[in-house]
Amino acid sequence: NAGVTQTPKFRILKIGQSMTLQCAQDMNHNYMYWYRQDPGMGLKLIYYSVGAGITDKGEVPNGYNVSRSTTEDFPLRLELAAPSQTSVYFCASGEGTGYEQYFGPGTRLTVT
Amino acid sequence: DQQVKQNSPSLSVQEGRISILNCDYTNSMFDYFLWYKKYPAEGPTFLISISSIKDKNEDGRFTVFLNKSAKHLSLHIVPSQPGDSAVYFCAASAAAGNKLTFGGGTRVLVKP
């Protein structure tokens, strides 16, 4: 089992550019999540999904979009990159209420 | 409004001694609490969890205590080992969606 995989590991974007952060899991989890971690801070939830075709906003969704067409994949889209989106992005998956979440290794994004 | 707080940003402890990490929360709807460990440039790794119906959960060297009336939980690591040096995050969730709210983290340094 690869667990939760994320690509790319690092990316530098110019202001206004767009990109998609990829996330895949092979544990057949229905629940998937995107978090961001700013320096010295805890993780904050951007978007989550409780199953294919179902997504919902988390605490900090502005500037991001998601889709969930399959159980395995949960890409995060940044449409117009801004310096405030410089952060480390973590994808996670889990079995739902009362269960832990498994995290990917993260994508470090810098917007300049 | 920080719903989950870790008031100690760092902790230094001698190898073999006990490490005690603390976490406070404000949302009385939280019913599941978790501790994650994070090494640099890696995703968080699940350590231990506790449901709100319990006040203690043990797993090897790690014990989590929950005091619901005080809205406080703690993680005890006994004995501490150099490999325990990492950032530890407390997280909490309320039932729907199992969305995690994280504290800001405590950096633990275990000295040989």
Say if the Cβ atoms of B49 and A102 lie within 8 Å.
no
Residue A100, chain B, CB below 8 Å: the answer is: yes
pLDDT in tens, A64-100: 999 999 999 999 999 899 999 999 999 999 998 778 9
Write down the pLDDT at residue B97: 65
Name the residue facing B43 among A58, A98, A106 (closest C-beta): A106
Condensed to tens digits (0 to 9), the pLDDT of residues B3-48 reads 999 999 999 999 999 999 999 999 999 999 999 999 999 999 999 9
First to last CA, chain B: 38
Q: Closest Cα to residue A35, out of B54, B83, B93, B64?
A: B93
B46/A contact by beta carbon, under 8 A: yes
The CA–CA distances, whole Å, from A55 to A19, B21, B33, B47 equal 19, 34, 23, 27
d(CA A104, CA A89): 9
Mean pLDDT confidence for B80-85: 97
Quick check: A49 and A71 in contact, CB under 8 A? no
